[in-house]
């Protein structure tokens, strides 16, 4: 029976509604994961037909390591030595020297006793939150979808606190404490770098509040891993106060997968209880080797990234754009979804790929263009991006 007949799911109608709401999206293939790539329209089931080269300011490949020759070589050598896939759950026969070596490197970089690698950052969040099975989760209102889904699946009571507001967290904890059952387990979960606002959680202040109530703290370092030495947690010397450090291998490290880091007992429990780890084939060994090589290469790339970030931020702000945040992610505030989409279209016409982000991903009235420079962008490409923003902004009426 077709999914769209009989009892059905009304998928045609759902797609039409999404189209009407301006939320329907399609796939945009690129010919390589690089700062500049050829781009194709959504080919459906056919082979993509690539057109002109465009400069990509939409990827999370912040350090440009997805195309780094040493990283590629590490993956290729491991594929030849171990194989292209793990073959099974790591608890069966899918654990390899590549996994163990990466986990030792991650634990050292994160200042923890041990680390555990998952097949994705999403799986790491969902698996860890459900394995910990807290009674209450205190969650920043702008946390990533994988945290939201993990919290739902954990069946915990979820208390959402105002974004990056440790005082709001304290108020939520104080209110919960009035009716708390004896021995409740509390977990505070927050991104460290927020991907749509480019800001940083006040982790030290969050730790102070959590410690007052005996709660654990879990920090998702997906957008900080590799960009900062030891992530935001390491940069701020909070390794001994953050109970669970989570990260991804697929953004600045240019590979695939996710991980958690913490003490020995935490890792032993999660590898036994996290269903997204236990019942999933292990991370592909070449991805593990690529991530470890990228971890070693990351420090050499950071200066170029931050130079490009500064050049772009200064240029955009000097034109009159408002740029949110304080990190390597540059959300350029536009306002209405219509203006954001129009600006996106003009930028694409100029050969710049930087997508419009609009509700419900961000609040009404705060639609934006999310600009993500890479360490491998040249100054000429940065200047080209700025020129495109200036011309597009004037055409749309934003400047």
Residue 27 has a pLDDT of 87
Active site residues: 195, 223, 251
Q: With a cut of 50, say whether residue 4 has pLDDT above it.
A: no
Q: With a cut of 50, say whether residue 215 has pLDDT above it.
A: yes
269 belongs to a structural domain: yes
pLDDT tens for each residue of 283-337: 999 999 999 999 999 999 999 999 999 999 999 999 999 999 999 999 999 999 9
**Among 225, 248, 283, residue at a domain's last position:** 283
CATH code, domain with 363: 3.90.1150.10
Lowest mean pLDDT among 131-145, 314-328, 350-364: 350-364
Return the number of other C-beta atoms located less than 10 Å from residue 218's C-beta: 25
Q: With a cut of 60, say whether residue 6 has pLDDT above it.
A: no
14 belongs to a structural domain: no
Mean pLDDT (whole number) for 30-59: 89
19 belongs to a structural domain: no
Q: Which tokens go with 288?
A: 């593990």
User: Which of the 8 DSSP states describes residue 271?
Assistant: H
Q: Which tokens go with 60?
A: 């999370």
Q: With a cut of 80, say whether residue 278 has pLDDT above it.
A: yes
**Whether residue 131 is found in the same domain as residue 164:** yes
188 belongs to a structural domain: yes
Residue 20 has a pLDDT of 87
Q: What is the pTM of this model?
A: 0.93
Q: How far apart are CA 323 and CA 126, in angstroms?
A: 32
CATH code, domain with 172: 3.40.640.10
Q: With a cut of 80, say whether residue 86 has pLDDT above it.
A: yes
The parent domain of residue 316 ranges over 26-66+299-396
Contact 304, 374 (CB under 8 A): no
197 belongs to a structural domain: yes
Mean pLDDT (whole number) for 353-379: 95
Q: How far apart are CA 295 and CA 105, in angstroms?
A: 8
**Whether residue 382 is found in the same domain as residue 277:** no
Residue 1 has a pLDDT of 42
Per DSSP, the residues of 244-261 read: EEEEESSSTT-S--EEEE
Q: With a cut of 70, say whether residue 82 has pLDDT above it.
A: yes
**Among 249, 283, 317, residue at a domain's last position:** 283
**Whether residue 62 is found in the same domain as residue 155:** no
7 belongs to a structural domain: no
**Whether residue 277 is found in the same domain as residue 392:** no
Average model confidence (pLDDT) across the chain: 95
**Whether residue 140 is found in the same domain as residue 175:** yes
Mean pLDDT (whole number) for 29-54: 88
Residue 164 has a pLDDT of 98
Mean pLDDT (whole number) for 130-148: 98
141 belongs to a structural domain: yes
Looking at the structure of the chain, the number of domains it has is: 2
**Whether residue 197 is found in the same domain as residue 305:** no
**Among 237, 257, 283, residue at a domain's last position:** 283
Collect all residues with Cβ–Cβ distance below 8 Å to 37 and sequence separation of at least 6.
30, 31, 53, 54, 56
106 — pLDDT class (breaks 50, 70, 90): very high
7 — pLDDT class (breaks 50, 70, 90): low
**Whether residue 259 is found in the same domain as residue 365:** no
**In percent, how much of the chain has pLDDT > 90?**
88
């Amino acid at each position: 029976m077709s999914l769209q007949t009989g009892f059905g799911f009304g998928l045609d109608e759902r797609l039409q509604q999404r189209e009407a709401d301006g939320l329907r999206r399609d796939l945009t293939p690129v010919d390589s994961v690089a700062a500049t790539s050829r781009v194709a329209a959504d080919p459906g089931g056919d082979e993509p037909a690539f057109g002109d080269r465009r400069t990509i300011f939409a990827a999370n490949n912040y350090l440009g390591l997805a195309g780094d020759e040493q990283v590629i070589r590490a993956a290729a050598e491991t594929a030849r030595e171990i194989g292209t896939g793990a073959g099974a759950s790591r608890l069966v026969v899918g654990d390899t020297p590549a996994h163990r070596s990466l986990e030792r490197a991650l634990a050292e970089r994160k200042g923890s006793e041990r680390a555990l690698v998952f097949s994705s950052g999403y799986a790491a969040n969902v698996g860890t939150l459900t394995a910990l099975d807290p009674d209450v989760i205190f969650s920043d209102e702008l946390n990533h979808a994988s945290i939201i889904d993990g919290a739902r699946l954990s069946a915990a009571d979820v208390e959402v606190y105002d974004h990056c507001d440790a005082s709001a967290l304290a108020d939520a904890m104080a209110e919960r404490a009035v009716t708390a059952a004896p021995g409740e387990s509390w977990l505070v979960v927050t991104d460290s770098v927020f991907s749509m606002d480019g800001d940083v959680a006040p982790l030290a202040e969050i730790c102070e509040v959590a410690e007052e109530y005996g709660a654990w703290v879990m920090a998702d370092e997906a957008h900080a891993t590799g960009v900062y030495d030891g992530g935001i947690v390491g940069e701020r010397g909070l390794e001994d106060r953050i109970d669970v450090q989570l990260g991804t291998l697929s953004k600045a490290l240019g590979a695939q997968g996710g991980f958690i880091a913490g003490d020995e007992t935490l890792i032993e429990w999660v590898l036994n209880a996290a269903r997204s780890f236990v019942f999933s084939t292990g991370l592909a060994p070449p991805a593990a080797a690529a991530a470890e090589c990228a971890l070693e290469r990351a420090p050499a790339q950071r200066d170029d990234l931050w130079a490009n970030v500064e050049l772009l931020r200064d240029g955009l702000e000097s034109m009159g754009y408002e740029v949110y945040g304080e990190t390597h992610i540059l959300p350029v505030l536009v306002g209405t979804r219509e203006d954001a989409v129009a600006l996106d279209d003009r930028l694409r016409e100029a050969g710049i790929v930087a997508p419009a982000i609009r509700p419900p991903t961000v609040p009404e009235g705060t639609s934006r263009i999310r600009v993500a420079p890479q360490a491998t962008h040249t100054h000429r490409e940065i200047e080209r991006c700025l020129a495109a923003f200036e011309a597009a902004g004037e055409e749309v009426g934003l400047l």
